Amino acid sequence: MKKIVCVLGSPRKGGNGETIAGRILAKAEANGYESQVFALGSLQYSGCIACMGCKKGADHCVVNDGLSPVLSAVREADVLLLASPIYFGQVTGQAKCFIDRTYSFLTPDYMINPNPTRLGPGKKVVFILTQGQPDPKFFADVFPNYERFFKWFGYESFLLRGLGLRDTSDAASRQELLAEADALADRIL
């Protein structure tokens, strides 16, 4: 059975990213995917502590905290949905700590290895980025920066941006955005 994992980077429950991700998850489940959702704001964890345990003997992150089951689930998933609002021009701190811990998905020799990933082939990641700013020129650089890193892991990356979403319930009333989520789900599943 195919697996999809959703990682919600917002510290708030029921926000715009969760609404958009919910549309994609519903389509995935209707197509036979097993799904898991992790709300980072409800977990206790740290960012990468640069212990290098994942490069010196272990093939996974050796820090044992609330993020351990998330990393394990993401490692096994065919599709990763990563949703985050933009705070101060970047993904949330919660999302950034998660992304930093994915360093464990790289082989010890990732800088010179033509296959630097510990993950299986054919994986996809969907970045769902939401922002209050309606101008698409603002924060357009966030996704390309992370896309480069996820390419190392072997992910095919997709972006869905929600612009001008100021209140936590705005996405639910934006039919064009929900239709975009549906179309993207059809494309990746």
pTM: 0.97
SS3 state at 54? coil
Question: Percent of the chain, pLDDT > 90?
Answer: 100
Question: Percent of the chain, pLDDT > 70?
Answer: 100
Residue 41 is predicted with a pLDDT of: 96
Picking from 47, 24, 161, 134, the residue whose alpha carbon sits closest to that of residue 94 is 47
Give the containing element (helix H, strand E) for 120: none
Residue found under tokens 């640069």:
50
Residue found under tokens 């990563």:
82
User: What average pLDDT score do residues 183-187 get?
Assistant: 97
pLDDT digits (tens, 9 = 90+) for 130-151: 999 999 999 999 999 999 999 9
Residue 25 is predicted with a pLDDT of: 98
Residues facing residue 125 across a β-bridge: 80, 157
Q: What are the CA-CA distances from residue 55 to residues 18, 39, 95, 108, 145 (Å)?
A: 33, 27, 22, 5, 23
Give the containing element (helix H, strand E) for 17: helix 16-30
Which domains occur in the chain, in start order?
A: 3-188 (3.40.50.360)
In angstroms, rounded to a whole number, what is the distance separating the alpha carbons of residues 148 and 118? 16
